[in-house]
Structure 1
């Protein structure tokens, strides 16, 4: 059954969110501690994880946990994580960043391709482990951009008991049509990214960079993952296994979706709002494939403010008021959203209004060119006469 959707147009994003930064946010980077742990899977493989704590936190306290689960070598990305996670730490959460199997400092054979059953099975075990730690309240949320947004949606399809909510940024539930490999059914340049990712994952973990027979076997005795996608050029079971499209009823975890007008995954948002019966909210703005607080084009917004409200609602049981707000917040680039009920009129120059002006010369077509986005062209942005 499809749901009605209440939409709010954001002419001025700041006015809609009415966010005032905390006085402490200017120096939050000095308030983080990192603990390295291993999470043992049922087959004995250990996944490497970083736990981000507010500095000085009492380890005997219990916290709701936010998980980001990626193959992108956590130790190499601590500068990014340090800045990204600080906001959540200030609002009463611990953030845990886990290297997937066979990537970074995690043991095991490198995952064969995106969103495999191996990745998602491990993810369920990670969530269960996090919920049972003495420093955990038992409530876990997931968040992430791109890959981390994708597997947040996919874990929500599995509905592990401890997963209470997720925030997916620049992600889609329709793998074949919209994932980076076959956007609109044609293989795109994104698979050059997949090949570089294979090379990246072949590196041994920091800081020891241990290279032994086990590492060589697990990280090099594999075919390039791009071959998998070259063999899967048509929609079907391979793509459906981790796509919510056509099986939206599996998602019973509340989800907040953030998209960008210039991102390739933007069409997912209205589908999720319309088809998922669990609580859903969405926000779209004038951004490419970035977190909105650090995005291009502008204006940027502090999306984590809304994410915290969403997590507070479901992980802490607080009434944040977010459920009473419009389902879909849309940044409108022009003065008014398109409305077929509005009559188009023009000023004639003599004080009268007319539905159609006479004597207007035909427009001249001018070819232009512009820079590239992450995967798509920028449309009207930064175009120049060719």
Structure 2
């Protein structure tokens, strides 16, 4: 990777530029721009998130935004209201207020004397979401967006309900935001920091119960889901994803439904592609610049004629939850270019030879029973892994052993797959609530199993995400759902495996009763890829990293514990990010997190407990916040408790407890 320190334009920085909203709330922006922008206005590129530009995302900001400014843009990093150094209060994610603020910021930027009037918007994760959502609203000055690791469907393809299944991350992310949003502004920028901080703490929302209440695809989730009206998406979109991240489906959805959109998917986790693992890293910043040059400066550089879909076709390798790189090659073309469908019927002996049409279920015959132990899923990996701390899926063989599996024949030639496999099943349940998880795996001759893609369906959503209904025990249902998008070449001598389970802890919160699913028939529709063009991405580059001192090094542990007396098992994560000092402005920050996901023999034994500590200091000034959250359940209700405590020096200045229950209607 190349570190750039010299650019075509000399860059100047403003560390706290105020942008005042129509209701008087001042948002804080950090801005980099060419020194002569006042005389020669340039387009602006906005990144707008709640993760604190002063410390939270500063390490990545300093490698990225000066790079854009050095190539002739005003790079604008804004803290959302209620976060970082911005005034106001935040109540939820992707609110009407959040998006209205985004539109106001864009209008304000376009009117500045140093701006040409053209604005782009970009972001990863939260910022990737809200740049798509803002583009959906079509503010006049917004000319293009670059979205990374995002979704077009906030209900069925996000951290809350994947396929309608309640994810463990719904609780986990609620705990994250309780902690993240508890931190104060920097006193160097805000003399009224204490007043702002206490107001922020008093208004702090505990979001996990709110999200858990909406167990169907209601208007709450449709708001901000750009796939609800694809025709509304007219702003040019460049969208990025990673195969190791659970937002990989968005790229294909947008490319397939938004004319002119361009999509790129690499082997990456939930990070920007110029820094992400597994490698290879690519020149994301240069690809984004080509997009900005085309749509914000009107340069006829061919970015609008690039292949619509560029993906890293991964090769068979041994399982590795901390893979630094993935073997493969870049494939470029149309979304379905070179893809044909191959339907495999499920039989008691595995996959039958190709032949029947898609959705074919065949005659009624018992294929087996799915009755998974509650601990199945410990090797599933994180919803959005961030790095190399064993956060990616590991060897699936242990989970396969407790699943209903269908194996294919050993391959005499490699088999390339690109797209989404579709699973059709006829099954019955002995309980009114339940879900099924499908994993498509690459099984090596030594028996190790790599997850190529997975998918899941809350069986209450078998007919509709908007209007779910409970199952009638014993009644057979025909249903179908897609597994995640993939680009994967299975090696000669390996074979495919479809593994079905009705537990997936802690990725999915368990059903209230340990049910049995009887599978009568099924088929798997595979996207087989042949041919396709190639792509040679630019090499990864970025601006100079931030200047900092490590005061205390980071350390992470991740392990699975088994109690030999009770039989319970627990995933235990301790992520101590250490403490660092920013050498530019002297702010010291630190963060420590622990997660414990424990489950015994029955689903009602599930307990998730998270703790977070945030530390900020400079000289004699010290603040610390502690967040604790716990989730349990009964047969009828989910219970989510939380506590937030704040200290200024040695004095406790705030404490609040929450204790919420949510009725289990469909989960």
Short-chain TM bin: 0.7 to 0.9
- 1:368, CA displacement in angstroms? 11
Q: Name the CA shift for 1:188/1:368 in 2 (closer, same or farther; >3 Å).
A: closer
Higher helix share: 1
Q: Deviations over 1:252-276 (max 9, x none)?
A: 1000000111111111111111212
* Structure 2 residue aligned with 1:352: none
Q: Any idea what SS the aligned residue of 1:245 has?
A: helix
- 1:108, CA displacement in angstroms? 1.0
Matched, 1:96 2:76: yes
Identify which of 278, 286, 291 aligns with 1:297: 278
* Structure 1 residue aligned with 2:384: 375
Distance in 2, Cα, partners of 1:383 & 1:286: 22
* Structure 1 residue aligned with 2:309: 328
Distance in 1, Cα, partners of 2:121 & 2:164: 29
Matched, 1:224 2:203: no
Q: Which has the higher contact order (CA 8 A, sep 6+)?
A: 1
Superposition CA RMSD, Å: 3.0
Q: Any idea what SS the aligned residue of 2:226 has?
A: coil
Q: Deviations over 1:65-105 (max 9, x none)?
A: 00000001111132321112132122211100111111111
- 1:127, CA displacement in angstroms? 0.2
Q: Name the CA shift for 1:311/1:211 in 2 (closer, same or farther; >3 Å).
A: closer
Structure of greater Rg: 2
Q: Any idea what SS the aligned residue of 2:228 has?
A: coil
* Structure 1 residue aligned with 2:292: 311
Q: Is the 8 A contact 1:264 1:375 kept in 2?
A: yes
Matched, 1:75 2:93: no
- 1:322, CA displacement in angstroms? 1.7
* Structure 2 residue aligned with 1:114: 93
Q: Is the 8 A contact 2:128 2:146 kept in 1?
A: yes
Higher strand share: 2
- 1:223, CA displacement in angstroms? 3.3
Matched, 1:258 2:255: no
Distance in 1, Cα, partners of 2:86 & 2:25: 8
Matched, 1:174 2:153: yes
**Residue ranges of structure 2 left out of the alignment (5+ in a row):** 316-327, 332-337, 343-375, 386-390, 399-447, 450-667
Distance in 2, Cα, partners of 1:91 & 1:383: 49
**Residue ranges of structure 1 left out of the alignment (5+ in a row):** 1-19, 343-366
Matched, 1:87 2:87: no
Q: Name the CA shift for 1:230/1:328 in 2 (closer, same or farther; >3 Å).
A: same
Q: Is the 8 A contact 2:241 2:247 kept in 1?
A: yes
TM-score (norm 2): 0.47
* Structure 2 residue aligned with 1:236: 218
Matched, 1:137 2:146: no
- 1:228, CA displacement in angstroms? 1.7
Q: Name the CA shift for 1:214/1:301 in 2 (closer, same or farther; >3 Å).
A: closer
Distance in 2, Cα, partners of 1:301 & 1:382: 29
- 1:374, CA displacement in angstroms? 5.2
Distance in 1, Cα, partners of 2:339 & 2:162: 29
* Paired residues, number: 338
Distance in 1, Cα, partners of 2:146 & 2:53: 20
* Structure 2 residue aligned with 1:267: 249
1:345-364 equivalence runs, <5 A: none
Distance in 1, Cα, partners of 2:238 & 2:341: 31
Q: Any idea what SS the aligned residue of 2:146 has?
A: strand
Q: Name the CA shift for 1:52/1:87 in 2 (closer, same or farther; >3 Å).
A: same
Q: Is the 8 A contact 2:269 2:384 kept in 1?
A: no
Identify which of 176, 184, 187 aligns with 1:196: 176
Q: Any idea what SS the aligned residue of 2:227 has?
A: coil
Q: Deviations over 1:323-349 (max 9, x none)?
A: 22211111112479885599xxxxxxx
Distance in 2, Cα, partners of 1:381 & 1:89: 44
